[in-house]
Amino acid sequence: MSDLKLSGKRVIVTGAAGGLGRAFCEDLAAAGAHVIAADIDESGAAQTAKFISAADGKCISGKLDVTKAESCQMLVAQAINEFGGLDVLVNNAALYGTLNRAPFEQLEEDEWDRVLTVNVKGIWQMTRAASEALKASGSGSVINIASATVYSGSPEWMHYVASKGAVIAMTRVMAKELGSANVRANVIAPGITLTEASMTLMEDAKNYGADRAALKRNGGVDDISGGVLYLASDLSKYTSGQTLVIDGGKQFI
């Protein structure tokens, strides 16, 4: 069985200015990947790249607005220019920590549209821009970040839950349409993860719902990164169209 081999893998991570995105960049670079940390927050992405570079990892930053086709195309061109191609796309950019929670009848239409534009259209735009480069790699991997809340149906959160359900559905189509070029597409659906955004959104995030988990705790960013490393590596070369729920055993038990 092959080992976890990421040395030289050329990777884009979106939403990389902080939280899970930054952790993904750090762990991918530590495993030997060449990473572009991309975010609409250009200075935050640059900080991620600077931190990783200081630890002798290979990481550069890029500015990205996932809702704009041209911005997505320019980022892929940057990967090709800097690294010679693209092997892995991690679609992590999403609206989350800044969202309002309310019964679905009370959600503002503007916020609904904004969430669906970033969280759904953004993944479509970015994957569409990257598809030819991923096909050219001969063994590309698309890793889309959804949420375990799709399965629990968290109340007062319909716009976010709907957007992440769409991510799972889109990924199944991507897997079938890209599979003939040996490009696989999968989803990671984290449970509550102790990022700054989660800490801001809920009181006592560390313990919120932890009693319902088999492992009796909520996850840290390092708990989720392992799934990204697996799906980015050749260990997952026959895995496509799947959703990996990483929530400590809250769902389906």
Positions annotated as catalytic residues are 160
In the three-class reduction of DSSP (H, G, I as helix; E, B as strand; rest coil), residue 108 is classed as coil
Q: How many whole angstroms separate alpha carbon 76 and alpha carbon 36?
A: 10
Rounded (10°) angle between helices 122-137 and 69-83: 30
Q: How many whole angstroms separate alpha carbon 54 and alpha carbon 184?
A: 32
Which candidate, 24, 32, 2, places its Cα nearest to that of 236? 2
Q: How many CB atoms lie within 10 A of CB 237?
A: 12
Give backbone dihedrals phi and psi of 16, rounded to 5 degrees, phi first: -100, 10
Q: Taking the CA atoms of the chain, what radius of gyration do you get in angstroms?
A: 17
In the three-class reduction of DSSP (H, G, I as helix; E, B as strand; rest coil), residue 193 is classed as strand
The partner residues of 38 in beta bridges, in order of sequence, read 14, 62
Quickly tell me which residue has 């109340």 as its tokens.
Answer: 155
Residue 159: C-alpha distances to residues 106, 110, 162 (Å): 11, 11, 5
Rounded (10°) angle between helices 158-178 and 109-116: 20
